[in-house]
Chains A and B, each alone.
Chain A
Amino acid sequence: MGESILRKPGAVCLFAVIVCAFCTMSGRAAQRKEDLMVTKNAPGRFGGSITVAVRSDPKTLNPVLAVDEATREIIDCMNADLIHINRETQQTEPALAKSWSVSRDGRTYTLRLRSGVRFSDGQPFTADDVVFSFELYLDEKIHSSQRDLLIIGGKPISVEKIDDYTVRFQLAQPYAAAERIFDGLAILPRHLLENAYKNGTFAQSWSVSTPAGEFAGLGPFRLKEYVPGQHIALERNPYYWKADLQGCRLPYIDELVFLFVPSEDAQVIRFQAGDTDLLSRFSAQNFAVLQRGQAAKGYKLEDLGPGLEYNFLFFNLDNLADKNLPEIARKQVWFRDVRFRQAVSAAIDREGIVRLVYNGRATPLWSQVTPGNRMWVDASLAHPPQSLDRARELLKNAGFSWNSAGNLMDSHNQSVEFSILTSSSNAERTKMATLIQADLAQLGMNVHVVSLDFGAMVDRLLNSFDYEAAMMGLASGDADPTAEMNVWLSSGGTHLWDLTESKPATPWETQMDQLMNQQLVTMNYVQRKHLYDQVQEIVAQDLPVICLASPHILIGAKDRIGNFHPAILAPYALWNVDELYVQ
């Protein structure tokens, strides 16, 4: 096919339609009519390639085994799920399942699959592939990181094939966000992987050294080549199951290349030099640097507002009875007093953090849900400004006093001195801690900022509990509150401020457990929202974590990229990669 034809989208579309028609006519006997999903994007032009940078090489190309972000981002372009969360609307939408119904008790989901869909190697997709895929995700021996999502009410969900294009999922209890768990669960080809699974070699299958011809997926792209340390190139999947309004099969671009660029600064420089077409996950300061060359270099930058990440300060409230840490245990008397935490929160200059740490490209936070989470943020939550007077009053009420030198003393006449742990690899959080250190010095507190490498810090937070206060940031992959269960439930693995609880240690944690468990089984959105609002109010009031700021999601793209609609949910600029085109 000549280049000149490729330049005319109309001609190519016509060609594609003819091919489509030909395929359906010739294959009708063996194959059912292809149930293409029609997207609403503006029709683009075919051809060309897009290059993006990721932090590291993929560790595997097996969707069941992938854990880290870079690996997932690459794998997601080659695979598809049954029900997908639209990153722009934050709502679920049909994907490989064209429709679904829920039984009245909220425990049975029946999914109708698209018929006539084929894997990237041309083999048909049926309910058998779905059942097989879920068998893999649920197999304890495979240790898939997604397995936890599929355990509902303490029991794994069960999958059953009704016919070739219908599957039924049974849940042990009603589950409000059940549709959302399907997002990101890639459907795998049974015809390629069943043997490996039966032989017990699944953990070694689809590694980075597997030849490209042995892969097949349902995503918009398939593997073309992988050069370790340099790049991975994906090519257009000719069997992809989406088409645009004109009936042309997506995706538009022929090739998607991921370059491995290990640091943010290096990624910014590569983008500035024109080596990559899209850029996400970079700081506000780098945004300002890029802004200067914007017009001349042919790229545009977008500030999408706050994402889902919330940064916070928290105190060690772990039960240290069986640890030999008397000094920290002594300070925990302050930390456990809600007035002390409220005083710290009142003294923090959140506006200053936004300005100095994020160049103004962040939103101050008083609770865990950011304004970017449109469906779940509690809009009525109070946003008290910094007030040292209020902080002093709270401390006075809690029995603290000041000596002649202005140092804060507790009721046993010990000076208030503690350290804040931060990760040395995160410059922003270290900077926040330094600002907080100066804010709290005004209250007479002597605060040390200790930055350790991330591994050493996490070890102290999760295992030895040898810390006084720490800075952290969390960002769930999904906007729904169920993604936050492990943070707010007292038994949760990310319940950072107190990991030692066998039952809730405080009345407000008891209440938070109840609210979180209740929202999980409440099917009505308004009622759920009301429950989660209360959780946000508890976080703002009792301050298990002192929320500080949410950085804005910043995106850069070359002007020549069409259908570019970045979203605040990962993968920010690539979520509609099947619709992107090169102008």
Chain B
Amino acid sequence: MKRRYKLWATFAVLAGFHAAILFAGFLAPYSFSAQDRDAPYAPPSRIHFFDSHGTFHARPFVYGMKDDPENYGTYRVDFQQIYPLRFFVTGAPYKIAGLLASRTHCFGTAPGHVFLMGTDGYGRDQFSRLLYGGQISLAAGWIAAAFSILFGAIIGGLAGFYGGWLDDILMRGGELFLALPWLYFLFAVRAALPLQVAQWQVFLLLVVVIGLIGWARPARLIRGIVMSAKERNFVTAARAFGASDAYLLRRHVLPQAYGVMLTQMTLLVPQYILAEVTLTFLGLGVGEPMPSWGSLLASLQQYYVLASYWWMFLPTVLLIPVFLTYYAAADALQERVKSVAL
């Protein structure tokens, strides 16, 4: 009972994360590329109920800010400017999942700005960019993981089912891929691509390449399961009834590996999200102004960002629960697969 509860709880949390990312346009008060050139590296806006005179406001508000004349590039709270928070405000147009166009945002202020997580060096809202950035990063994780599992299933299945020289060739080939210094390989791929290709296409290509390179590990696991599954009595019986190899693989052998594939998938998704972060950190990711979690972290490479703007760390802190939930889900799945097998 408890095990089942853990699985569904982690799935629910993950679904929540993904929904927030999917509806980024609605939840984010600003577009990911909107620059406020008067507010680079503005700190997070504090949301107040009481103003500087101690008066209570039923509607929460944020104060405006002004340049600090003594410290260029920093800001002071302007207590004269009160901007109440409003809900379901009209703002920049966006599309949800590329289909549903709208201009209504969950919250915002007009006039004034609300930067829940501060702004980056271009005066862009970090909170909006974190939500939009998730779209790229999660898509990257899922697409790459799907490619790895698909490839792994095909190759692992064939190797395990037929064995012999085919097994040797495929598995030695897999080891070759494991030994590949993929980062340098990706640098080479990127340098060879034409410039005319849109940035997100380049990026997608890189992600697919990562996915294709990463097939070897799931392929090994699947091969092992297939090897033991094909010796089972019901498989032998089916074969005796004249079932073809393809039928056996599809109906009897590979289904034995579905649990492992699902667990592998939940393990690979966060791993490939991190791969995206790494790629972008190294300048191989999507180009400006499109955000991804990697590009949000990339600015931390610079000492002055580390030393001066603590809110630039916030995306990092918020990514930890996402990864932890993924791993918890993988763990719960693993237990469930085991219990079903028993």
Contacts and interface: CB of A to CB of B under 8 A. Distances in A.
Nearest to B198: A448
B163 interface: no
A283 B304 contact: yes
Interface string B292-310: 0000000000111101100
Contact of A450 (B71, B121, B199, B308): B199
4 tightest Cβ-Cβ pairs between the two chains A and B:
A265-B303, A285-B304, A424-B283, A434-B288
B72 A360 contact: yes
Nearest to B194: A466
Given A356-B122, A356-B123, A466-B194, A450 B287 contact: yes
B283 A451 contact: yes
B123 to A, nearest CB: 7
B303 A269 contact: yes
A434 B122 contact: yes
Contact of A359 (B37, B72, B122): B72
Interface in B183-201: 187, 190-191, 194-196, 198-199
A140 interface: no
The main secondary structure of chain A at its interface with chain B is helix
Given A265-B303, A355-B40, A356-B122, A467 B195 contact: yes
Interface of A: 265, 268-269, 283, 285-286, 288-289, 327, 349, 352, 355-356, 359-360, 419, 421, 424, 427, 430-431, 433-435, 437-438, 441, 448-453, 456, 460, 466-468
A420 to B, nearest CB: 10
18 contacts: A265-B303, A283-B304, A285-B308, A286-B303, A289-B303, A349-B37, A356-B123, A359-B73, A419-B195, A419-B196, A424-B283, A431-B121, A431-B122, A438-B33, A449-B287, A449-B288, A452-B191, A466-B194
B321 interface: no
A359 B123 CA distance: 13
A528 to B, nearest CB: 38
Given A434-B289, A437-B288, A467-B195, A427 B302 contact: yes
B35 interface: yes
Given A283-B304, A434-B288, A448 B191 contact: no
Given A289-B303, A434-B122, A421 B195 contact: yes
Interface of B: 33, 35, 37, 40, 71-73, 121-123, 187, 190-191, 194-196, 198-199, 283, 287-289, 302-305, 307-308
Contacts of B308: 285, 288-289
Contacts of B72: 288, 359-360
Contacts of B303: 265, 268-269, 286, 289
A424 B298 CA distance: 12
Contacts, number: 78
Nearest to A455: B191
A251 B277 CA distance: 52
Nearest to A268: B303
B307 A289 contact: yes
Contacts of B289: 434, 437-438
B35 A285 contact: no
A269 B187 CA distance: 30
Contacts of B198: 448
A265 B307 CA distance: 11
Given A437-B289, A453-B283, 19 more contacts: A265-B302, A268-B303, A285-B305, A285-B308, A288-B308, A327-B196, A349-B37, A356-B40, A419-B195, A431-B121, A441-B33, A448-B195, A449-B288, A452-B191, A453-B191, A456-B191, A460-B195, A466-B194, A467-B195
A479 to B, nearest CB: 28
A134 to B, nearest CB: 43
Nearest to A466: B195
Contacts of B37: 349, 352, 355-356, 435
Contacts of A419: 195-196
Contacts of A349: 37
Contacts of A449: 287-288
A452 B302 CA distance: 18
Contacts of B287: 448-451
Given A268-B303, A288-B308, A289-B303, A468 B195 contact: yes
Nearest to B284: A424
A473 to B, nearest CB: 18
B157 to A, nearest CB: 40
Contacts of B194: 466
Contacts of B305: 285
A572 B194 CA distance: 40
A450 B195 contact: yes
Contact of B304 (A286, A355, A430): A286
Contacts of A352: 37
